[in-house]
Chain A
Amino acid sequence: MTGAPVLEARGLVKKYGNVTAINGADFELRAGEVLAVIGDNGAGKTSLIKALAGAVVPDSGEMLMNGSPVSFKNTRDARAAGIETVYQDLAVVQALDIASNLYLGREVRRKGIAGSLFRRLDMPRMREEASQHLADLKIGIKSVNQAVETLSGGQRQAVAVARSAAFATKLVILDEPTAALDVSVQAVVLNLLQDLKASMGMSYLFVSHDLNVVRLLCDRVIVMRTGRIVEQGPAESVLGNPQDAYTKELLTAIPHPPLPA
């Protein structure tokens, strides 16, 4: 089920002024694996995924993909390497239609002179492919021509997940994909993620506050505190038998409501 490392991080460091957001992160992510990153606010989770997504450039350390060193100067580089990210605030443009959002920053031009000289976009093709991607997810969106702002919260989330699933070839990063959702909608998105995990065999890196979600979806867990990775290992051992004092504290501090059906 899980294979060779897709992504390895060696001694990643990111500082903002005097604040060290990531303080020497070492971990690896294997093919087909779902890796969770947990920790309190300010633990450096978002900075870590931003570094992997190319949204921030680490000050030092190195990243390897399939064993070769990579360095992402921006999000385009990470996308080109097959890494897609679902940000906490989704990073969608509300007033643009769904198809335009899916292809934002990677628009497809028409063939021939219309595309090369007149830079005309191939809207029919983008709409058709976007419809296909959304139809695969069965989330009940009728038209990809509607603006994202006409969608419900769960549908917007699903569009952002669909965008990543459609274009990622190696890794999908999800930052708190269910934090802003109603419990019933959370279930829809979680089912969607589980289906994708089963059908695509993609690797996922998952940031969440919700340990129930982590238990449900994740193979391995990284625990972060103030920029450091304090513990990592298989989900059942980290969550079931934590070694680090902070992990124990984190696990007992969070109540365990029943999973949404």
Chain B
Amino acid sequence: MTTDAPATAPSSVSSRFHAGNLLREPLLGPLVALVLAIIIFSSVSNSFLNPQNVSLILQQSVVVGILAVGQTLIILTSGIDLSIGAVAVFGTIVMAQTAGANGPVMALGSTLLVCVVFGAINGGLVTALRLPPFIVTLGTFTAIQAATRLLAGSETYRVEPGLLTFLGTSFRVGSFSTTYGVVAMLLVYLVMWYALSQTAWGKHVYAVGGNPQASNLSGIKSQRVLFSVYLTTGVIAAIAAWAALGRIPNADPNAYQNANLESITAVVIGGTSLFGGRGGVGGTLVGTLIVGVLRNGLTQAGVDNLYQNIATGVLVIVAVAVDQFARRRSQ
């Protein structure tokens, strides 16, 4: 990715780690962190890099990884989404309940509809009433979580193997076995990378997040762009719900309680700025893998889950500090 670095010239090598370069090469920091984590864990544990474990890390990253794409979009517009995890969990309940009576296709359709409606509610409140996204999604998060419990009771709903568990189906490439869920996650990343980097819509998402006034003066319909971001995030939440039932074919109202915060973690570690307007899904993919590698490696090393949370928390704060520092240097 950054192989064009002239390794022979010491001055330019050191200048690559200059704060300004971190801004211009936002993927560099997260990539270095990922490679370091992989080197450390593979030296501690012999089984860390074997194909089964790599496949496991990827599969464990699928749901949060997909949610993190939606989270990236919202954070790029200098917002934050506290509800996307709860929307996806609600989606799994809707999917499982609809599947029983109306079949899997209707189940997927109604989940997509419900998730997009939640996206529209968030987007409508943020754009039409100009409310801060933090407060809007805190409110919808609380309401959706309660609605999930009301809808599900205290039960979990098993889904029959088939279309709804398709993303959990595994296939082999040589000796490497993985699931269609991993493929779906990578596809979501690829599509959003394209949309953000190759289309006018993507430029406008960055512009609206980076400088809303300038965007308006440039003739961009900022509110419409913002609304479309929240709608897209709804679609992504529905895909995450589908992938979640692929991983565990049980719709559980208490599942994925941490998924929302973990999606924010992945985005921030991946170098997308909480101030909006800079970053991208490439960094978020790296951020997702950092969290996945860290959790898996620490588990293998026998580190307690609570210490893993502490490590993740420290990582988030470091990532935000780097972002702040880089911003200050650029101004």
Contact call A93/B217, Cβ cutoff below 8 A = no
**Contact string, B187-211, partner A, CB cutoff 8 A, digits 1/0?**
0000000100011110110110011
- Do A94 and B210 contact each other (CB < 8 Å), given the known contacts A106-B219, A120-B198, A121-B200? yes
A95 at the interface (CB under 8 A from B): yes
B226 CB, min distance to chain A CBs, angstroms: 15
Give the complex CA separation of A89 and B218 in angstroms: 13
Tell which of A55, A94, A123, A150 touches B217, judged by Cβ atoms closer than 8 Å: A55
Across the interface, do B218 and A119 meet the contact criterion of CB distance under 8 Å? no
A79, A90, A118: the one within 8 Å of B219 (CB) = A79
A100–B200 Cα distance when bound, in Å, is 9
CB contact list, B163-222 vs A, under 8 A: 194, 198-201, 203-204, 206-207, 210-211, 213-220
The answer to whether A104 touches B220, judged by C-beta atoms less than 8 angstroms apart, is: yes
List the A side residues contacting B207 at CB < 8 Å: 93, 96, 104
What's the least CB distance linking A256 to chain B, in Å?
33
Q: Which residues of B contact A105 (CB under 8 A)?
A: 204, 215, 218-220
Assuming A119-B200, A120-B199, is B218 touching A95 (CB within 8 A)? Answer: no
Interface size on B, residues (CB 8 A): 26
On chain A, the residues within 8 Å of B199 by CB distance are 119-121
Closest to A54 in B: B219
B330 contacts chain A at the CB level, 8 A cutoff: yes
B200 touches A109 (CB 8 A): yes
What string of 1s and 0s marks CB contacts (under 8 Å) between A143-160 and chain B?
Answer: 000110110000000000
* Neighbouring B residues of A100 by C-beta, 8 Å: 203
Residues of B within 8 A of A92 (CB): 211, 214
Q: Is the CB of A93 within 8 A of B24?
A: no
Interface centre among A87, A120, A149 (most CB of B within 10 A): A149
Q: Is the CB of A107 within 8 A of B214?
A: no
- Please, how many residues of chain A have a CB less than 8 angstroms from a CB on the other chain? 31
With A95-B278, A119-B199 as known contacts, state yes or no: A150 contacts B20, CB within 8 Å.
Answer: yes
Is residue A91 contacting chain B, with contact meaning CB distance below 8 A?
Answer: yes
Q: Say yes or no: is B277 at the interface (Cβ < 8 Å to chain A).
A: yes
Minimal beta-carbon separation of B273 from chain A (angstroms): 8
Partner of A91, one of B201, B204, B211: B211
Q: How far is the CA of A259 from the CA of B6 in the complex (A)?
A: 46
In whole angstroms, how far apart are the Cα atoms of A59 and B217 in the complex? 19
Please determine whether B330 and A149 come into contact, CB atoms closer than 8 angstroms: yes
Complex alpha-carbon distance, A123 and B194, angstroms: 13
**Are the CB atoms of B206 and A96 closer together than 8 Å?**
yes
Q: Would you call A76 an interface residue if the criterion is a C-beta within 8 Å of the partner chain's C-beta atoms?
A: yes
Query: Quick one: given A105-B220, A106-B219, A149-B330, are A93 and B20 in contact (CB under 8 Å)?
Result: no
Is A85's beta carbon under 8 Å from chain B? yes
Q: How long is the Cα–Cα vector from A80 to B62 in the complex, in angstroms?
A: 46
A138 to chain B, nearest CB (A): 25
| Nearest-CB residue, chain B, relative to A160 | B214
Q: Is A75 an interface residue (CB 8 A)?
A: yes
Query: Given the complex, which residues of B lie within 8 Å of A106, measured CB to CB?
Result: 219
* B residues less than 8 Å from A53 (CB atoms): 217
- Residues of chain A contacted by B204 (CB below 8 angstroms): 104-105
For A55, the chain B residues whose CB sits under 8 A away are 216-217
Interfacial chain B residues near A118, Cβ < 8 Å: 194, 198
Q: Are A75 and B218 in contact (CB under 8 A)?
A: yes
- Measured between beta carbons, the chain B residues less than 8 angstroms from A123 are 198
Query: Judging by beta carbons under 8 Å apart, are B24 and A91 in contact?
Result: no
The CA of A105 and the CA of B201, in the complex, are separated in Å by: 10
A contact residues around B194 at 8 Å (CB): 118
A46 interfacial by beta-carbon distance below 8 Å: no
A150 touching B200 in the complex, CB below 8 Å, given contacts A87-B217, A93-B210, A95-B278 = no
CB-based contact A91/B213 at 8 Å: yes
A107 and B203 contacting across the interface, CB-CB below 8 Å:
yes
Contacting residues, chain A, for B201 (C-beta < 8 A): 119
Min Cβ gap A165→B in Å is 16
Q: How far is the CA of A91 from the CA of B199 in the complex (A)?
A: 21
In the docked arrangement, what's the CA distance between A107 and B217, Å? 15
Instruction: Mark contacts of A113-143 with chain B using CB atoms, 8 A cut-off: 1 yes-contact digit, 0 otherwise.
Output: 0000011110100000000000000000000
A88 vs chain B, min Cβ distance (A): 11
Q: Please provide the 4 A-B residue pairs with the shortest distance between their CB atoms, ordered closest to farther.
A: A105-B218, A105-B219, A76-B219, A91-B214
- Which chain B residues have a beta carbon within 8 Å of chain A's beta carbons? 20, 23-24, 194, 198-201, 203-204, 206-207, 210-211, 213-220, 277-278, 330-331
**A-B contact sample (13 more), CB < 8 A, given A53-B217, A55-B216, A104-B218:** A74-B219, A75-B219, A93-B210, A93-B277, A94-B330, A96-B206, A104-B214, A105-B204, A106-B219, A118-B198, A119-B201, A147-B23, A149-B23
Chain A to chain B contacts (Cβ below 8 Å), 14 pairs? A55-B217, A75-B218, A75-B219, A76-B219, A91-B213, A91-B217, A94-B210, A95-B210, A104-B215, A105-B215, A107-B200, A118-B194, A149-B23, A149-B330
